[in-house]
Each structure stands twice: as C-alpha cells, then as structure tokens.
Amino acid sequence: EAGVVQSPRYKIIEKKQPVAFWCNPISGHNTLYWYRQNLGQGPELLIRYENEEAVDDSQLPKDRFSAERLKGVDSTLKIQPAELGDSAVYLCASRQVETQYFGPGTRLLVL
Amino acid sequence: DQQVKQNSPSLSVQEGRISILNCDYTNSMFDYFLWYKKYPAEGPTFLISISSIKDKNEDGRFTVFLNKSAKHLSLHIVPSQPGDSAVYFCAASEVNSGYELNFGKGTSLLVTP
C-alpha cells in the first residue's frame, strides 16, 4: 500500500514569495492533517480536513496561509507571502481509525 | 502551552540493553497515545500506540506502558539495536478533537554497539 505522498521534498524561496505544498493521502483515508515542525520541536497542527471540509483551522495563520482539499482526496497548502519565520518542515498526515500516518514532509527554507 | 512533555532531550544506550523513553501529559481528556520514530530528512513513522482503557501494549521489541493516574507513559525497547537510533516523539489525542495529535519535543535515542 502506498503511503502519504508529498511534494516537493525541498523548497528554497525568498521572503515575500508564494509557495505551495501538495499532499496525496493514503487511499481511503478521509481525514487529512497538515502539521508544521520547527527545528527541535514536535509537529504542530495547522488544519484538519474531514473529506473536503476543513473542520479545524484554528491554528492556521489565515493572513498568509490557505489550504484546500477540493475533491476530498489530495490537498494543497499555500503560503503567500512567505516570511523568514515560515522556514520549517511541513508534514501531511492521513488517518485510519485512531492512527495517523505521515508523509516525508516538505522542507521549506525562506531566505 | 505544552500538553505533552518529553523531559529527556537525549538518551544513550548500549546495544542489547533496554531503552526507556518517558512522556508526561497534562490533559486528562486524552484517550489515545502514540509513539513515532523519526529519522533525519524523513517524516515521523508510527511505531506503537495505546488506548486509555489499557495500561500496556506490546509489539515485538516495543512495549508502551500507560499510567493514567500519573499522566505518564513510557516506551520500552528490548533489546535495543543500533538501527533504533532516531528521534522518538510521544503524541496524545482525543476522539472529540478528531484525533488531532499533540506532540512532545522528542527524545533523541542513540544505541551504541
């Protein structure tokens, strides 16, 4: 069974530029999560989707971050414009019953 | 407000010995607990979990213990192998929050030959 797929794996941009991350969850997993992991920290939730509905986006900085999951399968997370503090690893996960499975992450560096 | 804490940033154990990683939590509503293992440049990999209705769950060399009254869980690895060297994250969730994970900061385990 294929795992959670994320792209790109690495991204380097200059501040104020836009950036987008893509995630394809494990087939059949209706719940999808985006997390952000800063260096030396555990992942922190940004947003949770149940099918195509964002049921918890309370931790998403809405002034510059947006996300979508139009057909209830793959999802895109966007930052516009990026700031230096956005440098982190962005992780996507999908859930089966109680357990979440993570993708490899996208490492973002904002210069 | 860190609801899940891993107070040991690092741990070094000899190959063949037991590794014990600890985790404390503050939210009594958490009802599902997980351990993830993370290698550099990879995403967290699910290792083992435990429901709040249990106090022990075992899977091969890995055992997780839960002490609800102390709000404490631990991961035992016996015997430890060099390939176990990684960062281990403790995470907690509750069904009423869609199993959103609250992570500790991780413990870096080094297993030496």
- Work out the mean pLDDT of chain A and round it to a whole number: 95
Residue A17 has pLDDT above 80, yes or no: yes
One DSSP character per residue, A33-66 reads EEEEE-TTS--EEEEEEETTEEEE-TTS-TTTEE
B4 contacts in chain A (CB < 8 Å): 42
Collect all residues of chain B within an 8 Å Cβ-Cβ radius of residue A96: none
- Does the beta carbon of A21 lie under 8 angstroms from any beta carbon of chain B? no
CA-wise closest residue to A4 among B44, B70, B113, B8: B44
pLDDT at A25 over 80: yes
Other CB atoms within a 10 A radius of the CB of residue B95 amount to 12
pLDDT higher than threshold 80 for residue B1? no
Sign, CA dihedral A92-A96-A97-A100, equals negative
CA distance A43 to chain B (A): 6
Please indicate if any CB of chain B lies within 8 Å of the CB of A5: no
Chain segment B49-100, per-residue pLDDT in tens: 999 999 999 999 999 999 999 999 999 999 999 999 999 999 999 999 999 9
